[in-house]
Structure 1
Amino acid sequence: MGVLDYVLAGIAEALTGNPALTLGPLVLSWPVLMVCSGFFVGVLIGATPGLSGPFAMALALPILISSFGFTPDALLPVMGFLVGIMKGATVGGAVPAILFNMPGTPDAFMTTLDGYPMAQKGQGRKALRVAQFASVTGDSFSDLVLFVCAPFLAISIELFLGLSEKASLMILSLSFVAVVVGRDSFRGLLAASLGLFVAAIATGADSYPRLSLGSDILAAGLPTIPVIIGVLVVSEILVSLAEMRRETLQARRASVPQNQDARLSWSERRALLPYIGVSMGVGTAIGALPGIGSTLAAALGYTAGRKMHKGAIPFGQGAPEGIASCEAANSSVSGANLIPALSLGIPGNISAVFLILAANSIGGFNPGPSVFRFTADQVNPELVIAFGLFTLMVVANLLNWTTGAGAMRVLGGLVRVPRQILLPIVLLLTITSVYVESGAISDVITLLIFGFIGCLMRWSGVPILPFVIAYILALPLETTIRNAFEASGADPWFLFHGIFSPACLALAVGIVVCSGWLRAGRPAA
Structure 2
Amino acid sequence: MDYILMGIGAVFGGPELFALGGIGIPAAPAMLFLGLLTGIAVGATPGLAGPMAMAVSLPILISIFGVRPDALLPVFGFLIGIMKGATVGGAVPAVLFNIPGTPDAFMTTLDGYPMTRRGMPKRALKIAHLSSVSGDTLSDIALFVCAPFLAVLVERFLDLPEKTALILLSLTFIAAVMGSSVGKGLIAIGLGMLAAMVATGQDFHPRLALGVDALSHGFPMVSAVLGILILGEIFWTLDDHWRGRVSRDATEATDAGPDGLRKGDVRRILPHILRSSLIGTVIGALPGVGSTLAATLGYTWGRRVHAKRKTPEQAAFGEGAPEGIAATEAANSAVSGANLIPVLSLGIPGNAAAVFLILAADSIGGFNPGPGVFTFSHPQINPELVVAFGIFTLMALGNLLNWTIGGVFMRAMGIMSRVPIRYLLPVVLLVTLTAIYVQDPRLGALWTAFGFGVLGYLFRCLRIPHLPFVIAFILAGSLENAARQAFSATGGDPFFLFSSWVSTAFMLMAIATVFLAGRAPGERRG
1:345 corresponding residue in structure 2: 347
Contact 1:150/1:343, CA 8 A, preserved across alignment: yes
Tell me whether 1:168 sits opposite 2:170 in the alignment: no
Secondary structure of residue in 1 paired with 2:362: helix
Query: Partners in 2 of 1:299 and 1:448 — Cα distance?
Result: 34
Instruction: String of CA shifts for 1:176-226, please: whole Å, max 9, x gaps.
Output: 000110111110000000000000001122222101111222111110001
Question: Equivalences for 1:36-435 in 2 at 5 Å?
Answer: 36-245=33-242, 246-247=244-245, 249=247, 251-252=249-250, 254-265=251-262, 267-309=264-306, 310-311=310-311, 312-435=314-437
Distance 1:307 1:26, change over 3 A: farther
Distance 1:521 1:395, change over 3 A: closer
Secondary structure of residue in 2 paired with 1:28: strand
1:32 corresponding residue in structure 2: 29
Distance 1:291 1:250, change over 3 A: closer
Shift of 1:255: 2.5
Shift of 1:514: 1.6
1:448 corresponding residue in structure 2: 450
Shift of 1:465: 1.2
Contact 2:248/2:420, CA 8 A, preserved across alignment: no
Distance 1:251 1:380, change over 3 A: closer
Unpaired runs of 5+ residues, structure 2, are none
Shift of 1:270: 2.2
Shift of 1:455: 0.6
Distance 1:521 1:386, change over 3 A: closer
Contact 1:16/1:27, CA 8 A, preserved across alignment: no
Contact 2:8/2:393, CA 8 A, preserved across alignment: yes
Secondary structure of residue in 1 paired with 2:210: coil
Secondary structure of residue in 1 paired with 2:318: coil
Structure 1: 4+ residue segments shifted above 4 A: 22-27
Distance 1:94 1:211, change over 3 A: same
Distance 1:488 1:20, change over 3 A: same
Query: Partners in 2 of 1:519 and 1:232 — Cα distance?
Result: 28
Identity of aligned pairs, percent? 54
Give TM-score scaled by structure 2 length.
0.96
How many residue pairs are counted as aligned between the two chains? 518
Shift of 1:23: 6.1
Contact 2:46/2:102, CA 8 A, preserved across alignment: no
2:516 corresponding residue in structure 1: 514
Instruction: Determine which of 446, 464, 468 is the counterpart of 1:462.
Output: 464
Query: Partners in 2 of 1:435 and 1:396 — Cα distance?
Result: 30
Distance 1:109 1:521, change over 3 A: closer
Query: Partners in 2 of 1:520 and 1:271 — Cα distance?
Result: 38
Contact 2:240/2:246, CA 8 A, preserved across alignment: no
Contact 1:126/1:261, CA 8 A, preserved across alignment: no
Query: Partners in 1 of 2:245 and 2:95 — Cα distance?
Result: 19
Secondary structure of residue in 1 paired with 2:491: coil
Give TM-score scaled by structure 1 length.
0.96
Tell me whether 1:18 sits opposite 2:15 in the alignment: yes
Query: Partners in 1 of 2:287 and 2:223 — Cα distance?
Result: 23
Instruction: String of CA shifts for 1:148-191, please: whole Å, max 9, x gaps.
Output: 00000000000011011000000000000001101111100000
Shift of 1:407: 0.6
Secondary structure of residue in 1 paired with 2:17: strand
Query: Partners in 2 of 1:381 and 1:193 — Cα distance?
Result: 35
Shift of 1:519: 3.1
Instruction: String of CA shifts for 1:389-413, please: whole Å, max 9, x gaps.
Output: 1100111111100011111111111
2:480 corresponding residue in structure 1: 478
Secondary structure of residue in 2 paired with 1:186: helix
Shift of 1:105: 0.3
| Aligned amino acid, residue 413 of structure 1 | I
Q: Which moved more, 1:217-226 or 1:187-196?
A: 217-226
Contact 1:35/1:84, CA 8 A, preserved across alignment: yes
Query: Partners in 1 of 2:38 and 2:518 — Cα distance?
Result: 42
Query: Partners in 2 of 1:96 and 1:316 — Cα distance?
Result: 17
Instruction: String of CA shifts for 1:94-148, please: whole Å, max 9, x gaps.
Output: 0000000000000000000000000001101110000000000000000000000
Secondary structure of residue in 2 paired with 1:314: coil
Query: Partners in 2 of 1:260 and 1:207 — Cα distance?
Result: 74
Contact 2:241/2:247, CA 8 A, preserved across alignment: no
Distance 1:168 1:87, change over 3 A: same
Shift of 1:502: 0.9
Query: Partners in 1 of 2:263 and 2:359 — Cα distance?
Result: 42
Query: Partners in 2 of 1:504 and 1:107 — Cα distance?
Result: 31
Contact 2:490/2:496, CA 8 A, preserved across alignment: yes
Contact 1:135/1:328, CA 8 A, preserved across alignment: yes
Shift of 1:259: 2.6
Unpaired runs of 5+ residues, structure 1, are none
Secondary structure of residue in 2 paired with 1:225: helix
Contact 2:169/2:506, CA 8 A, preserved across alignment: yes
| Aligned amino acid, residue 326 of structure 2 | A
Query: Partners in 1 of 2:20 and 2:417 — Cα distance?
Result: 39
Contact 1:371/1:383, CA 8 A, preserved across alignment: yes
Distance 1:118 1:433, change over 3 A: same
Secondary structure of residue in 2 paired with 1:20: strand
Secondary structure of residue in 2 paired with 1:65: helix
Query: Partners in 2 of 1:155 and 1:255 — Cα distance?
Result: 52
Contact 1:184/1:519, CA 8 A, preserved across alignment: no
Query: Partners in 2 of 1:448 and 1:457 — Cα distance?
Result: 14
Distance 1:413 1:512, change over 3 A: same
